[in-house]
Every structure is written in structure tokens, then in C-alpha cells.
Structure 1
Amino acid sequence: MGLVKNTIAVMCLIATGPVVAAAGDTADHADYLKALRGQYSEGQSYWPLAITTDNIAPAPMQALPQPEKADAGKVALGEALFNDTMLSRDHTVSCATCHAAHLVFADRRRQAVGIDGQVGRRNTPALFGINLWTSLFWDGRANSAQHQALFPVSDPKEMDLPVAELVKRVNQNEKYASAFAAAYGISEIKSVHLADAIAQFERQIPPPDTPFQQVLQRLPGEPEVAIGMLSDEQLWGLHLFRTKARCMTCHEGALLSDNQFHNTGLSYYGRKFEDLGRYEVTGLASDVGRFRTPSLLAVSHTGPWMHNGLFSSLPGVVNLYNAGGARTKRREAYDNDPLYPETTPLLVKLELTKEERSALVAFLTLL
């Protein structure tokens, strides 16, 4: 009977978290972490149930799959185009300008910087797992890798080159003309071929080689070894990510994204730096201020964070979500405004302690 009571007590402790004393010390914290490690070491099917705000079970965590084999000639063409400044009006900007390989195909800037030093409105997303996305860009304006490939070329703040002009340039380039003829069996290069080649290369971008990807790779066959790769604080952070912090409400599966659009309260509606997000694509009032849930893979290497690069530290991001997102008070001038955005109800105050927030950040740095 005593064994049963002790087992129940440990399970309740894991589900609810340790009791924090007034002085800031955690009662029985070592025992709590030992119990936590024991349960997580059994394998993901034995982990405590994830807690989400909408009570919908999230897709389980799993390693991002390696790229499938592709036509080497098309991939090489795409890589050449990706790195070629010929894709911009004045030959100064390439795709790699904002998606640098050594920066996990991001740029570490608050907002993207394009032709003539123009600063865009949004942060540059990292590129990996591109085939797992159901939409591309923060506002979801593209629905496939091919669809998104040429948007930056014609964007006046990015490359500022009409696609028709790019097609002309490439056809006049003997190297590209010969390579496209060999890879695609064509005598005239069209925009669809350019988009496909770039997409072929982007699909070959490997998953980021991060500590948690290594954990996830070993987890199915060696769960105890995999969890053993985490420190106590990191393991606690993983548990908080899945439970009290409710991160998996939106960050799930291999991408750690639900492929959906949400309003975290950062649209700056009616103010300087306003960005209406998904609304600019759909025209739906419900989409004002919504942005695609970003992947958290390699998140410690992709800052600044949020669609506008507002936060320069992960603790700052955690503090935002701990507060339940940003919730601006509606001014009288907007009382009857049908477009006034509302922060998603999926974000609620979490009441994470200082120690819990630190553990969560420690876990995020592994991703």
C-alpha cells in the first residue's frame, strides 16, 4: 500500500511540478527531477501528457527528416541561382544574402536588408524542412517551395528585379543555358524552371545539427541514452515546454510548428510599424495581425525573434508568453473598428517562476 501511495505521489509531482518555497528554494527538487528523468527515459509514449490551451493533443516531437534524394543537376543549378547576385536589379543581392548557410540559412538581423540597403518589415525565417510547410512566408502568401522561390526577386525592397528580366538574363547566360538544357532537357529557360531549380536546392538543406535533434534521433531506440544527454535543467525545461508553459499548443511535430496563423498581439495596429500579417493575403478581418507559427528548430541561432524581430533575447520572448502575449488596450477611436485585432485566446498567463523560465530557456537553446 505504501508503494502505491509513493508512486501516486511521484506521478502527481511530475504532472503538477515541484512546490516552490517562499524563499525561492524548491522542496524535494532533486527527487522531482529524478522521477521526471525516470519517466522520460521510458520513451515518448510514457511521457506525461502534453498540456495545450485548446486541449488538442499535439503531434509528438520527432527529428526533422533528412532530405530525400534529388536530381543532382537540378540541385546544383538551384544552388548556383540561390547564391547568384544576378537575381537582383543591380547585381548586389542574392538569396544567400538573407539566408546564409553559416547562419542556419537566416541572417541574424532584426529585419531583412535588401537592395540599396532597404530594410524590410519582417524578420528572415531560417530555411529547413521546407516540404513540411503548408505555407511559406510569415503571411503564408505562398503554398509551396516553387511558389515562394521568386517572390523575393520581384520584391522592390529585396531584389527589385522583374521576373521577366531575370528570365532574359538567364537565357543569355551561356553557363546557365547549357546547365538547364542538360538538367531539364529544354532549349528555353522559363520562370517555372528557375523556381523549380531553386526549390530543388532548398529541399536539400539539411536539418540543423543541434543537440536536441541528436536527442530526437536516438529517442526511438535508446530513450534512456537520449534523455541522458540532457542536464537536469534542460530536462525540466523540456517538461515545462510540454506541460505548464503550453508551448506545444502551437509548436509541435518535427517542425515544432502547427503550420497555422496566430495573433500574439504584436501587429502595432494603427501605430507606427503596423503590420497586418495574414490579412494582407486573405482580406479576412479575422486574419488581421496573424502570422505563421515559426519553427523553433535552432531557435537560439535565429534571433532576433518574432515576425518583426522585436526581441533580441530568448528570456524576453519567454516573458511575453508568460504574460499571455501582448494585449493592447483598445482606444476609443477603434471602438467600432471591425478590423481591430484581438490577441489569440490560445495565449494565457502561465505564472512560470523565475526558475521555470530559466529552465525553459535552457531547453530552448538545445533546439
Structure 2
Amino acid sequence: MIKVIFVAFAVFLFTADSKAVNNNDLRSLYSKGQAHWPTIQTSDGRSVEPMSLLPVASPKPEHVALGDKLFHDVQLSRNNTVSCATCHDRDKGFHDGRTTAIGIDEQIGTRNTPAIFGIDQWQSFFWDGRASTAKQQALMPIANPIEMDLDPEIALARVNKDKSYSVFNQSAFNSSTLTTEQMAKALVAFERTLAAPNSRYKIFLTQLNKNPIQAVNSLSDSELNGLHLFRTKAKCMTCHNGALLSDNQFHGTGLHYYGRRFEDKGRYDATHNSEHIGQFRTPSLLGLMQTFPWMHNGLFEDLSGIVSMYNHGGARPRPRKNQLNDPHFPKTTDLLIKLNLTKQEQTDLVAFLRIL
């Protein structure tokens, strides 16, 4: 009798891990708190970080005030028309809502503007990871000929000549003038205060630590099943895990357009390692609906289409005739596998993604 009960219980747990018996069972299971949720499933069997809230940073207020002023100052661009805030709009989750960024002289960039939040959690910056620290990243858009097109030393001279900065410089660094190191430090201090856009997901995680039942009841049946799928059958947390919902790694997802229009070699641009052609840093999914459109090139506007693509194992472009012998033709990562999600499961997954 004990053996029969054990087997029945084991079957229930297995079923709960892969697909819910019904919504009531799933709601009961997730209402017990995250420590009791089904084990996260990844396509390669790795253990990954669970969902959590981003830590709150506490930089010096004086550095933040100076960084805020610098972030919004068009003097940091060649012709005084572009600031950091031009592409990182506070009202759009510090994103710009465009397919790709538009910089100085209305020049159109090739990549989608990354939203700014969770600065302390990133291990590299830009889609290709060409900056390894936030301070290194902070000055690079100033020098970029498409973005702000100004030598950072000239930008610094302009700032040091501007008397409106005196009180900020004195307060932050006890000096009437700044160094480029201090300018970068102040910009990063301001960026560290930028939080991910408010979302139902953030509210859900906040409630989860206090009242799991209330948190789970805030989700519709479709959203709850989507959360379950995100963690299990859909294997989304293979790459989208932890507080950032990003693994901080670079992967080839087949969206490189190698040898075609929109070609982007991704990580290769930073490393010049042919193995990195077509690899991009995993983006955070936080504030997903505020950082539309998506992917490194901003060409994707339909969440259902994205889910369908990953359900089929991701994009796997084939070489053209003239590429058949090209040893550098990018390969799609083995982490993307066919998921066999039903139409309803895909709908539920999209419902959950929309609350992120």
C-alpha cells in the first residue's frame, strides 16, 4: 500500500514538473513559495540562479547628482545635439523605442539600444561585450562617430569650462574641475540608481517573499502556466535566469544574417575570434514590453513569433551556395532545442512574458 502511494505521489510530482494536471494543482504548487517550486529545467541540465529582485544600489548622492547632469548634457556630443538621454529615455525604461539607435546628424546605428538597469549585475556591456566594466562603457558612446562623435577629452574640457558644473564637481570630488575618470565614475553612479521598469513581475516577486498565495493569485491561469513553462518545459531559464533574467553569456541564436542584409558578426567585432561570429550577449527580459522592439537589431516586434521560433529550436539559417565551404559560417548554439510546446502553451508563455 505504501509503495502504491509513493508511486502515485512520484507521478504527480513528475507531472507537475512537466505540465500541470490542472490549474488548481499548479496554483497550489506555486503557492508554497519558490523554495518548493518544481526544479528549473535547462536544455543542458545546468543549475542556474532562481528568479529574484535586482539588488538596490546606493552610490554617493553627490556622484549621482553630477552623473545625472552629465547624462542629460548635449555638450558631450560634437554639435551639442545629443546626450546619453537621447537614446536612453527615462519615460521608456531608459530605452528609445526605436529599431536601432539614432545618433548625431540623424545617423542610424545598426543595433537596438539596450535598456539601462542592473548595472552592477552585468559582467560586460554592449551587445558584443566590447566593454568589460561600466566605467569603460560610460565614455565609449561619446567617442563613437555614429552616436556622439566627440573626443572624451574635448567633452571634458567643455564640462570643466561650464561654470554650472562647479558646485556639482566640488560636492562630488572636492574639485572645481573633473578628470575623465571622475566623469565616468559619476555617469556610472547615476546609472546605478536606474531601476528596471515597474512591472507586474516585479510586484509578483516582491509579494512572493511576503505572501506567496497572494502573489500567485495575482496571476491569471494563463500567466501562471506561462511562468511554469518558462521555468520548465520551455527551458527559458537556460539563458534567462537570476535577477537580470540573463546569464551574462554570449550565444549564437542564428540571427546573424551572415553574408546578407542586416549582417552583424556580434561578439566577433570585439574579440576578432572567428568562433564568436554571430554571438550576442543574452539580453535581460525585465521590462520586456517597455523595451520593444527586440533582439540586437530591433527587427522583432511579435512575441508570439519569437516564441514560435524558439519552439522550433531557434533560427538555423543554411549557408548559400557561395558559403558552403566557408569555415566561419556561424552555428546556432546547441542550447536551443525543439520544445514541442502546444499552441496553448505558447499562448500561455507569451502571457507570462508580457508581465515581465
Which category describes the TM-score, using the shorter chain as reference length? over 0.9
Q: Shift of the alpha carbon at 1:105?
A: 0.6
Q: Does residue 40 of the first structure (1) align with residue 30 of the second (2)? A: yes
Once the two structures are superposed, residues 24-64 of structure 1 have per-residue CA deviations (whole angstroms, 9 ceiling, x without a partner) of xxxxxxx5111111111111121111111110011011111
User: Which residue of the partner structure matches residue 61 of structure 1?
Assistant: 51
Query: Does 2:276 align with 1:274?
Result: no
Out of 170, 187, 195, which is 1:181 matched to?
170
SS of residue in 2 equivalent to 1:119: coil
Q: TM-score, normalised by structure 2?
A: 0.95
- Amino acid across the alignment from 1:33: N
Q: Match for residue 321 of structure 2? A: 332
Match of 2:277 among 263, 269, 288: 288
Residue in structure 1 matched with residue 211 of structure 2 by the alignment: 222
1:282 and 1:112 map into 2 onto residues whose CA distance is: 23
Distance 1:231 1:332 in 2: 49
Task: Check conservation: 2:32, 2:212, Cα contact below 8 A.
Answer: yes
Using structure 1 for the length normalisation, give the TM-score.
0.93
Letter of the structure 1 residue corresponding to residue 45 of structure 2: N
1:155 to 144, 154, 158: 144
Q: Is 1:346 aligned to 2:335, yes or no?
A: yes
Which residue is equivalent to 2:248?
A: 259
What amino acid is the match of 2:206?
A: Q
Match for 1:12 among 11, 14, 19? 14
SS of the residue 1:213 aligns to: helix
Q: 2:298 pairs with 305, 309, 317, which one?
A: 309
The residue type paired with residue 197 of structure 2 is P
Structure 1 position 189, deviation (Å): 1.7
DSSP 3-state at the match of 1:329: coil
Q: 5+ unaligned residues in a row in structure 2: which ranges? A: none
Helix, strand or coil at the partner of 2:181: helix
Correspondence for 1:113: 102
2:267 & 2:18 partners in 1: Cα distance? 36
Q: Does 1:171 align with 2:160?
A: yes
Point out where structure 1 has 5 or more consecutive residues left out of the alignment.
19-30
Q: Partners of 1:256 and 1:102 in 2: how far apart?
A: 22
2:287 aligned residue? 298
Give the equivalent residue in structure 2 for 1:366.
355
d(CA) in 1 for partners of 2:7, 2:318:
49
Amino acid of the residue matched to residue 63 of structure 1? Answer: L
Aligned mates of 1:131, 1:256 — CA distance in 2: 14
One-letter identity of the residue aligned with 2:14:
C
Per-residue CA deviations over 1:269-302 (Å, capped at 9, x if unaligned) read: 1112111110111111111100000000011111
Q: Which residue, 81, 96, 116 being the options, matches 1:92? A: 81
Distance 2:193 2:66 in 1: 12
8 A contact 2:93–2:196 mirrored in 1: no
1:73 CA drift (Å):
1.5
Residue 165 of structure 1 and its aligned partner are, at CA, apart by: 1.2
What's the counterpart of residue 27 of structure 1? none
SS in 2 for 1:257: coil
Deviations 1:67-110 (A, max 9, x none): 22x22121111001111111111111111111111111101111
Correspondence 1:235 to 2:224:
yes
Distance in 1 between the 2:63 and 2:35 partners? Answer: 40
CA distance in 2, matches of 1:63, 1:187: 38
Q: Is the 8 A contact 1:326 1:343 kept in 2?
A: yes
Matches within 5 A, 1:127-146: 127-146=116-135
Cα distance in 1 between the residues matched to 2:220 and 2:241? 22
In 2: Cα distance, 1:281 partner to 1:4 partner: 54
- In the alignment, the residues of structure 1 paired with residue 87 and residue 309 of structure 2 have an alpha-carbon distance, to the nearest angstrom, of 26
Which shows bigger deviation, 247-256 or 141-150?
141-150
Give the residue type in structure 1 aligned to 2:324. D
Is the contact made by 1:10 and 1:32 (CA closer than 8 Å) also made in structure 2? Answer: no
Q: Aligned-pair RMSD on alpha carbons?
A: 1.5
Say whether the 8 Å CA contact 2:197–2:290 is kept in structure 1.
no
2:65·2:168 contact (CA, 8 Å) conserved in 1?
A: no
Query: 1:316-343 CA distances to partner (integer Å, 9 max, x unpaired)?
Result: 2112211211111122322332321101
C-alpha separation in 2, matches of 1:286 and 1:177: 48
> Is the 8 Å Cα contact of residues 177 and 189 (structure 1) preserved in structure 2?
no
Letter in 2 for 1:317: I
CA distance in 1, matches of 2:71, 2:305: 33
Displacement of 1:6? 5.0
* CA deviation after TM superposition for structure 1 residue 135, in Å: 0.5
Matched residue pairs, number? 354
Aligned equivalents of 1:198, 1:325: Cα separation in 2: 37
Which amino acid letter does the alignment assign opposite residue 13 of structure 1? T
Indicate which of 246, 257, 262 corresponds to 2:235.
246
Q: Which amino acid aligns with 1:220?
A: N
Shift of 1:8: 3.9
Percent of matched pairs sharing the same residue = 49
